[in-house]
Amino acid sequence: MSLFDSISFIKPGSWLGLLGGGQLGKMFCNSAQQLGYKVVVIDPSNDNPASAVADLHLQSSYDDEDVLNHFSSICKSVTVEFENIPVHSLSFLAKKKVRVCPSYESIAIAQNRILEKEFISSLGIDLAPYAVLYDYEDCINISENLFPGILKVAQLGYDGKGQIRVKDKGQLIKAFDDLGKVPSVFEKMLPLDQELSIVVARGFNGKTQEFPPSINFHSSGILSSSIITSSNHEIYSNIDISRVSFIAKKIIDSLKYTGVLCIEFFIVGNRIIVNEIAPRPHNSGHYSIEACITSQFEQQVRAMVGLPLGDTSLMSSAIMINLLGDVWFDKSSGLQREPNWVQALDILGAKLHLYGKNEARIGRKMGHITLLGNDVYELNKRAYDLCSIIGIDYESV
């Protein structure tokens, strides 16, 4: 019996399932269809990026058992577009003998900051100092050494949502109240030298493949840009990339994970601190669509159908720039306008991805641009020029 017989290789032409209809789902659909698969999407909205390109859209909540029964009768393997899918829905599908990638147990850990930190800490991996808060008494008894810090809700927070920065206990109690008095994590703010992420994939056979790590810049808690080049480049000179790789492999193996996982790191001096994990492709990995032999989305498909993981070698250095809805509004007048795509795409090596969202809103992810080239410093100059054209404040490497 071959390896692929033993893990039930799913042949092209079969249906794959996706829970969630956002832009990550759209890019997953594109990769799945390229490899010959059909995709059915469950999403409650009637207008979302993934359903616009999927072969079938089931407009429903994620926990409708009638819809999940129908879903499980169509597809052989399912994955998630974002981590806040109800775990009981994923467990329901697993009981129907549908292959859920990653497992609902992994997603349960990744969607809860308390469980996530407990899991990472159990592996002996460095975290920022933190405290778990369940009630006002926990806020009052918290150590003064954790201030200033960031209060984060344990569940359903993302892209800076469900987070408040606080300086003292008085602010903490108010912030806890403002966030609904729900279980939360309070993290000490650290003097960061860099923020880094790495996307790693693991197949059913336990083999892993890592994508080149990206150096990330954020604005208001949302990723603004990522820079990627060969791991021996001087921009990584103060980062132990081999240690980053070791930590990533330890986490994904310990989870017994199948699929694509992103791990975000804080670099503080010589310390490599895990910030959080995301059980799916990640914004900081979008560069892989053009810059790597295999994209993170194709890797997601390969993992869930039992194909060998693809080559993640970097073919070009890259800078990925997030396009938020802010770009569609003039900074001076506040009036809505179309960004100057003609001038922006005159920049050498620029690749535009718009997600097909009908309404531009401040802070909403509308697309991204990836710049490709051999010299990361030349790319940096082009990125500055591009951002000036479309009205983005660019933070250079």
Domains of the chain and CATH, by start: 3-100 (3.40.50.20), 129-188 (3.30.1490.20), 194-390 (3.30.470.20)
Numbered residues of the known binding site: 113, 152, 157-163, 187-190, 195, 218, 275-276
CA-angle at 52, arms to 100 and 46, nearest 5°: 85
CA distance 117 to 364: 28
Report the pLDDT value the prediction gives residue 232, as an integer from 0 to 100.
Answer: 84
Report the pLDDT value the prediction gives residue 5, as an integer from 0 to 100.
Answer: 43
Report the pLDDT value the prediction gives residue 221, as an integer from 0 to 100.
Answer: 84
Per-residue pLDDT at 156 exceeds 90: no
Per-residue pLDDT at 345 exceeds 80: yes
Report the pLDDT value the prediction gives residue 215, as an integer from 0 to 100.
Answer: 97
Cβ-based burial of 183 (10 A; exposed 0-12, middle 13-18, buried ≥19): middle
Mean of per-residue pLDDT scores for the chain? 95
Residues 48-73, mean pLDDT to the nearest whole number: 97
This prediction has a pTM of 0.95
Report the pLDDT value the prediction gives residue 158, as an integer from 0 to 100.
Answer: 65
ω into 102 cis (within 30 of 0): yes
Q: What percent of the chain is modeled with pLDDT above 90?
A: 92
Radius of gyration of the chain (CA): 21
Reported as a single tens digit per residue, the pLDDT across 160-169 is 678 999 999 9
At 142, is the secondary structure helix, strand, or coil? coil
Helix runs in 306-375, H state only: 341-344
Reported as a single tens digit per residue, the pLDDT across 173-216 is 999 999 999 999 999 999 999 999 999 999 999 999 999 999 99
Q: What percent of the chain is modeled with pLDDT above 70?
A: 97
Per-residue pLDDT at 361 exceeds 50: yes
CA distance 379 to 394: 12
As given in the structure block, the two tokens for residue 327 are 């770009």
Q: In the structure, what pLDDT confidence band is assigned to residue 2 with cuts at 50, 70 and 90? A: very low
* Per-residue exposure over 197-227, b if at least 16 CB sit within 10 Å of its own CB, e if not: bbbbbbbbeeebbbbbbbbbbebebbbbbbb
Per-residue pLDDT at 3 exceeds 80: no
At 88, is the secondary structure helix, strand, or coil? helix
Report the pLDDT value the prediction gives residue 1, as an integer from 0 to 100.
Answer: 34
At 186, is the secondary structure helix, strand, or coil? strand
Reported as a single tens digit per residue, the pLDDT across 266-323 is 999 999 999 999 999 999 999 999 999 999 999 999 999 999 999 999 999 999 999 9
Q: Cα dist. 13→36, 97, 260 in Å?
A: 6, 19, 22
CA distance 312 to 113: 29
Sign of the dihedral defined by the CA atoms of residues 65, 71, 77, 82, in that order: negative
CA distance 266 to 163: 17
Beta strand pairing status for 259-268 and 184-188?
unpaired
Q: In the structure, what pLDDT confidence band is assigned to residue 159 with cuts at 50, 70 and 90? A: low
Q: Cα dist. 170→132, 141, 151, 166, 177 in Å?
A: 17, 12, 13, 9, 11
Cβ-based burial of 260 (10 A; exposed 0-12, middle 13-18, buried ≥19): buried
For 38, other C-beta atoms within 10 Å of its C-beta total: 17
Q: In the structure, what pLDDT confidence band is assigned to residue 331 with cuts at 50, 70 and 90? A: confident
Of residues 150, 111, 158, 110, the one with CA closest to residue 130 = 150
Numbered residues of the known binding site for ATP: 113, 152, 157-163, 187-190, 195, 218, 275-276
Q: In the structure, what pLDDT confidence band is assigned to residue 8 with cuts at 50, 70 and 90? A: confident
**Best-predicted range by mean pLDDT (154-158, 227-231, 320-324):** 320-324
